Amino acid sequence: MADQEMIQEKIGEALGLEKAAQKAVEDLDSRGLLKPEQMKKLSKMREEASQQEEEMQDLVKDLVESDGFDQDTIDEKAEETAEKASKMMETYLGEEPDTQEALEFLCLAEGGEVTHYEVLNSVAKDVKNKKFGTKVRSILKEEKRHLNLCTKLATDNAASA
Ligand SMILES: [Fe+2]
């Protein structure tokens, strides 16, 4: 059985990655690394990520009530994870990033999100509040779509270069 401390940390990490993925799209766009036709699809993805973040925040509030989760632990982990992901982006992009690298970083970020929601889904049985599993599975489905979208943008971009 997964303990509550671990589940809280994993929720925080998922939230942090959610924040980081949105910020990455904004940053990469403002640096001119994303083409308008790519950005059209990515802004929709960013909006969905913002919606997911809100839904997760609401879920956390419920879990504080129903399962005695600690809001501060989750918030701290989210903050820390978002910061780590931003640093990873800078390291990955290096000195002179191009569109291909920008898209590949988004694949990394979305891949991380998919994994984290898979992990949350695997521990959902240990959370009393059943809203948790339902929400996690619906977000996981969207995250898989996000990863597919980013992968397609990266492969199309490479093929047209
Ligand atoms: Fe996502």
- Parse the chain into domains and list their residue ranges: 4-160
Tokens (6 digits) for 9: 């940390």
Q: Please report the pLDDT score of residue 2 as a whole number.
A: 78
Q: Domain 4-160 is classified in which CATH homologous superfamily?
A: Ferritin, core subunit, four-helix bundle (1.20.1260.10)
Q: How far is CA 75 from CA 18, 19, 110, 147, in A?
A: 13, 12, 20, 25
Percent of the chain having pLDDT more than 90?
A: 98
Ligand 1: distance of its center to the CA of 107 in Å?
A: 9
pLDDT at 161 over 90: no
Ligand 1: distance of its center to the CA of 98 in Å?
A: 21
Ligand 1: distance of its center to the CA of 3 in Å?
A: 26
Tokens (6 digits) for 35: 């083409």
The pLDDT tens digits of the residues spanning 20-45 come to: 999 999 999 999 999 999 999 999 99
- pTM, whole model, 2 decimals? 0.94
Tokens (6 digits) for 118: 């898979």
Ligand 1: distance of its center to the CA of 120 in Å?
A: 15
Residue 64: pLDDT band by 50, 70, 90 thresholds? very high
Ligand 1: distance of its center to the CA of 93 in Å?
A: 19
